[in-house]
């Protein structure tokens, strides 16, 4: 699995380095605006990267 992820990351880096930039859909832009407004309204609800990683790695 680790080798496969490494391949994915290398491929993604090649795509990004090629200059390809996808155009976000109107729905995605609206969602990003909604999330930014929610953050602006209450920044205390934001999680640090460390909190996100800890949550993702917690036993289930």
Query: What is the tens place of the pLDDT at every residue in 7-58?
Result: 999 999 999 999 988 999 999 999 999 999 999 999 999 999 999 999 999 9
pLDDT at 1: 86
pLDDT at 55: 95
pLDDT at 54: 96
The b/e string for 6-44 (b: 16+ C-beta within 10 A; e otherwise) is eeeeeeeeeeeeeeeeeeeeeeeeeeeeeeeeeeeeeee
């Amino acid at each position: 699995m680790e080798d496969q992820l490494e391949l994915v990351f290398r491929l993604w880096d090649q795509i990004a380095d090629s200059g390809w930039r996808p155009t976000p859909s109107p729905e995605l832009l609206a969602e990003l605006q909604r999330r930014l407004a929610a953050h602006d309204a209450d920044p205390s609800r934001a999680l640090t990267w460390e909190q996100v990683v800890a949550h993702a790695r917690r036993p289930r």
